[in-house]
Amino acid sequence: MAETTTIGGDLTVNRLGFGAMRLTGDGIWGHPADRDNAIAVLRRAVELGVNFIDTADSYGPHVNEELIRKALHPYADGLVVATKGGLLRTGPDQWVSLGRPAYLRQAVETSLVRLGVERIDLYQLHRVDPDVPLEDQVGVLGELRDEGKIRHIGLSEVDVDQVRAAQAVAPIVSVQNLYNLANRGHEAVLDHCTAEGITFIPWFPVATGELARPGGVLDSAAREYGATPAQLALAWLLRRSPVVLPIPGTSSIAHLEENTEAAGIELSPEAFDKLSALA
């Protein structure tokens, strides 16, 4: 398993986590087609050394959190289950920001019940609601932290200014943004997180697209390392910054096992630079 990272100064986890979002129905809506398989994937992830699992109340909605509890509760010592709130679901593939403090408080309280815990180790604001002051959204999470219902607070899909504004209200220990080898629109946020010691959780971390075309640099490097392009994309992320905590997700045990093997790939500086130049 990859080296560890510490979230918020007291949650030490292996640097390759698992994103559970795909363990739902189509459109991230409803139950997975094969519930037994979804439970098996979660249990296999923990067997492989994964001790950071990312979910959200909106995955299903609610289905994902309930599935994690069914598969893994009572949770093993050191297993961190992070969840999120702030998106309302109105149908498959439909996501609506809702950051009113009363709603976020309800979201935390109901996630506690579904996950079967008294405190959520990492609770992330899934999206900043543009219609609600950021300080109000982060403020209620800070209140819940003070009440002992949240250990740490994280953000998702934010820019540097929003991170700084949130930090002025309550301690922020993580940021979860879209970021991968092919899509690096949040370089400034990652650099800020690296400088501040904030855990950076890239979602959609394995996207390779055209970069993986036969004969290309990624394909050639993958063959050189005896790896798949997806594994190399994850290895690149792990080398990009020590605060990066990728959360590749899958509903396949075979792909899960393949992804976790990326933790054992150590890119040379030359290989890292070649891959970095791709996008």
In sequence order, the 6+-apart residues with CB closer than 8 A to the CB of 23 are 32, 38, 41, 42, 59, 64, 67, 249, 251
Q: At what angle do helices 160-167 and 134-146 cross, to 10 degrees?
A: 50
Given 59, 75, 123, 179, the catalytic residue: 59
**Token digits of residue 136:** 């109000």
> CB atoms < 10 A from the CB of 197, how many?
13
Report, in angstroms and rounded to the nearest whole number, the Rg of the chain calculated over CA atoms: 18
Q: Is 59 among the residues known to form the active site?
A: yes
CB 87 within 8 A of CB 126: yes
Question: Do the beta carbons of residue 179 and residue 186 sit within 8 Å?
Answer: yes
244 closest CA partner among 5, 2, 1? 5
Residues marked as catalytic: 59
